[in-house]
Structure 1
Amino acid sequence: MISVSKLLCGLDAESDGLRYDAADGSKKPQISEEVQQRPVVVWNTTKRCNLYCEHCYAGADAEGAPNELSTAEGKALIDDLAEFGAPVLLFSGGEPMVREDLAELVAYAADSGVRPVLSTNGTLLTRDRARELKDAGLKYAGVSVDGLPERNDRIRGEEGAFDAAVRGIEACLDVGLKTGLRYTITEHNVDDLAGVVDLLVDVGVDRFCFYHLDYGGRGADISDVDLSPEATRRAVADLCDLTREYHDADEEIETLLVGNYADAGYLVEYADREMGTDRARLIYRYLRRNGGDPTGERVADVDPVGNVHLTQFWQGYSPGNVRDRSFGAIWSDESNPLLAGLRNREEHLSGRCADCAYQSICRGGSRLRALSAHDDPFAPDPKCYLTDEERGGEAALSRIESADGTATADD
């Protein structure tokens, strides 16, 4: 994740230490005092879902997968993650709210020292369920909303899904559970972006995560409605402008971009153009600490039956199953050539990624999109929208070469 509000506006967040090694300069209580060493783990707790979203990376359906991890196996997984040092466990799906043991598992994670958070479509979140999860130790609920009512309901395959999600958000806010929006941008909903933000700000949401489409699950089936590089660039620019407008109006809105690390290079360029080179250099330093695309390193996934994946979107490949070996053993086994290659990807990146000036803060972007487009996990990400001048021009190189040193806290 790339925090637009942190980088452009200096807005403190509880992830500043984990993401940018900037805990000392933040006024918010921190998830971690130091930059992330172990992966955030997404657990797809079930394949069952009450909706049928067109871009679902997990391919969720009305029925769960055969032989999904039981409560006891889920707790064993959480023990594994705690021992390995995973900082955060994201309960996802399918729709995790359909699991009757969700609150029990959340409480077990919280008691084990692994920060529990939730990804949900929000439609099953009542005030009682929200309170139960908060009391169990849930720290955050990310609710998926993919447009204003008509577009959202069409994308999510259910009339009334938007209104139900908003009720779920309100239920979380009513019981004091930190809640945010998750929004996957495609041609189908890009025009609703600002309207959704404005509407949900009125509801009381102050955290917005904007996801680029990754080509996994049903997301691969709609790659033809993914934004073009040019349209992606415009959408990211609009989000940057929107974030600054809210900040200038004294609204502390946290905005994040997820799933396309070309955004990292673009934010440096945007800041240099709109805010000055000093700001661009500070942003570059933060992003270098963040480390670029986290696939196979700082993010991992466990699917409903225990298969480990290199990111939640890359469900088609697994280096092992937690029923056979511990998560830590699987994740640390660099005899796996793909896992080892991703962790040393600078040696393998090809094409425009190989000589990009922003390689250190992007690391090639989505390896899954590269595989989908080129049948090669180390080929260029087709969603890169940086110009040749931005990727390797004298201005970019000069700026990077001048960015050595330690980032300071924002004013």
Structure 2
Amino acid sequence: MISISKLLCNLDAEGDGLRYDAADESNTHQITERKQRRPVVVWNTTRQCNLYCSHCYAAAEDEPAPGEFTTAEGTAFLDQLADYGVPVVLFSGGEPLVRDDLEELVAYAADAGLRPVLSTNGTLITAERAAALRDAGLQYAGISVDGRPERNDSFRGREGAFDAAVRGIEHCLDAGLKTGLRYTITSANAGDLEAVIDLLVDVGLDRFCFYHLDYGGRGAELVDADLTPTERRAAIERLCELTLEYHDDGEEIETLLVGNYADAAFLVEYASERFGDARARTVRDYLERNGGDPTGERIADVDYCGNVHLTQFWQGYSLGNVRDRPFGELWEDETNPLLRALRERETHLTGRCAECRYRSICRGASRLRALAVEDDLFAPDPQCYLTEGEIAPGDAFAGGSVD
């Protein structure tokens, strides 16, 4: 994740230590005092979902899949994560709220020292379940809304999904749960970006996660519906402007970019143009600390039957299964050639990525998209929207210090 609000507005957030090793600079309680040394783990607790979203990376269905973890297997898996020192476990799906033991699993994770957070479509969150999740120790709920009501409902395959998600948000807020809004952009809903942010403000949320489309699961069928580089750049620039406008009006919204580390380079260029080179150096320094695309390093995924993946979007490849070997052993096993190659990716990148001056803060962005479009793991990410002048070799804005 890349925080526009941190980099452009100096807004403190609980993830400053986790992302930037900047806990000592923040006045906000921190998830961790040090930058993560272990991955955040997304756990797809089930393949079942009450909706049928066109961009679902897990290709969820309306019934549970064979082999899904029992409650006992789930708690044993959470013990593995705690033993390995994982800082955060993200309960995802499918739709995790279809599991009637979700609160039990969340409570177990919290008691084990993990930070439990939730990714949900929000439609099944009643007032009672929101309170139960809070009491179980849930620290955050991210609820997905992908446009105005008609657009969102079309994306999610069910009329009324928008209204149900908004009710879920309201129930979480009423229960005192920290809650944010998640939005994945495509050419179909790009025009709804401002409406989604207006919704965020209207319902009282202060966290917005902007996701780029990754080409996994049913999302792989939407490659032709993705934005052009020009459209993508315009969307990110507008999001930067909206963040600054709301910040100037006293609305301290935490705005996060997810899934395309070309955004890191863009933010350095944007900061230089808007605030000057000194600020651009500060922004770049934070992004150097962040470390670029986290696939195979700072993010991991474990699916509903225990297979370990390089990221939640890369469900087609597994490092092994936690029923056979503990998660930590699988994650540390660099005899796996793909895992090792990803962790050395800067030496393998080709094309415009190979000499890009922002390589260290982007690291080629999504290898999954490169593989899906070019059939080449180390080809340039097709979502890169930087100009040739911006990526030209050199050390522009490098070597700065955080002010």
Q: How many residues align?
A: 403
One-letter identity of the residue aligned with 1:367: R
Tell me how far apart the structure 1 counterparts of residues 293 and 267 of structure 2 sit (CA, whole Å): 15
Aligned: 1:398 with 2:396:
yes
What SS class does the counterpart of residue 246 from structure 1 fall into? helix
| Cα RMSD for the two superposed structures | 0.8
User: Which residue is 1:49 aligned to?
Assistant: 49
User: Which residue is 2:359 aligned to?
Assistant: 359
User: Which residue is 1:407 aligned to?
Assistant: 402
User: Which residue is 1:291 aligned to?
Assistant: 291
One-letter identity of the residue aligned with 2:13: A
Mapping for residues 146-295 of structure 1, pairs under 5 Å: 146-295=146-295
One-letter identity of the residue aligned with 1:251: E
1:56-85 deviation line (CA, Å, top 9, x unaligned): 000001011101011111111110000111
One-letter identity of the residue aligned with 1:2: I
- Work out whether residues 355 and 393 of structure 2, in 8 Å CA contact, stay in contact via their aligned partners in 1: no
1:92-123 deviation line (CA, Å, top 9, x unaligned): 00000000000000000000001000000000
Tell me how far apart the structure 1 counterparts of residues 370 and 300 of structure 2 sit (CA, whole Å): 18
What SS class does the counterpart of residue 300 from structure 2 fall into? strand
Task: Identify unmatched segments of 5+ residues in structure 1.
Answer: none
1:193-225 deviation line (CA, Å, top 9, x unaligned): 111111221111110000000000000001100
Q: Scaled by the length of structure 1, what TM-score is found?
A: 0.97
User: Which residue is 2:115 aligned to?
Assistant: 115
What SS class does the counterpart of residue 396 from structure 2 fall into? helix
Q: CA deviation at 1:398?
A: 3.1
Q: CA deviation at 1:399?
A: 1.9
User: Which residue is 2:28 aligned to?
Assistant: 28
Tell me how far apart the structure 2 counterparts of residues 67 and 73 of structure 1 sit (CA, whole Å): 11
Aligned: 1:67 with 2:67:
yes
Q: CA deviation at 1:276?
A: 1.1
Tell me how far apart the structure 1 counterparts of residues 228 and 48 of structure 2 sit (CA, whole Å): 32
Structure 1 residue ranges, 4+ long, deviating more than 4 angstroms after superposition: none
Q: CA deviation at 1:146?
A: 0.3
What SS class does the counterpart of residue 399 from structure 1 fall into? coil
Q: CA deviation at 1:407?
A: 2.0
Tell me how far apart the structure 2 counterparts of residues 38 and 376 of structure 1 sit (CA, whole Å): 28
Tell me how far apart the structure 2 counterparts of residues 41 and 377 of structure 1 sit (CA, whole Å): 23
1:306-354 deviation line (CA, Å, top 9, x unaligned): 0000000000000100011000000000000000011111111111111
Q: CA deviation at 1:393?
A: 5.7
Q: CA deviation at 1:275?
A: 1.2
1:359-379 deviation line (CA, Å, top 9, x unaligned): 000000001001001111111
Q: CA deviation at 1:12?
A: 0.4
User: Which residue is 2:317 aligned to?
Assistant: 317
Tell me how far apart the structure 2 counterparts of residues 366 and 41 of structure 1 sit (CA, whole Å): 18
Q: CA deviation at 1:166?
A: 0.2
One-letter identity of the residue aligned with 1:241: E
One-letter identity of the residue aligned with 1:399: F
Q: Scaled by the length of structure 2, what TM-score is found?
A: 0.99
- Work out whether residues 49 and 63 of structure 2, in 8 Å CA contact, stay in contact via their aligned partners in 1: yes
Tell me how far apart the structure 2 counterparts of residues 16 and 370 of structure 1 sit (CA, whole Å): 30
Aligned: 1:377 with 2:377:
yes
What SS class does the counterpart of residue 273 from structure 1 fall into? helix
- Work out whether residues 307 and 322 of structure 2, in 8 Å CA contact, stay in contact via their aligned partners in 1: yes
Percent identity for Structure 1 against Structure 2: 69
Task: Identify unmatched segments of 5+ residues in structure 2.
Answer: none
Tell me how far apart the structure 2 counterparts of residues 154 and 2 of structure 1 sit (CA, whole Å): 29
What SS class does the counterpart of residue 31 from structure 1 fall into? coil
One-letter identity of the residue aligned with 2:225: V
Mapping for residues 294-305 of structure 1, pairs under 5 Å: 294-305=294-305
- Work out whether residues 246 and 253 of structure 2, in 8 Å CA contact, stay in contact via their aligned partners in 1: yes
User: Which residue is 1:144 aligned to?
Assistant: 144
Tell me how far apart the structure 1 counterparts of residues 64 and 293 of structure 2 sit (CA, whole Å): 30
What SS class does the counterpart of residue 319 from structure 1 fall into? coil
Tell me how far apart the structure 1 counterparts of residues 22 and 254 of structure 2 sit (CA, whole Å): 16
User: Which residue is 2:344 aligned to?
Assistant: 344
- Work out whether residues 58 and 93 of structure 2, in 8 Å CA contact, stay in contact via their aligned partners in 1: yes
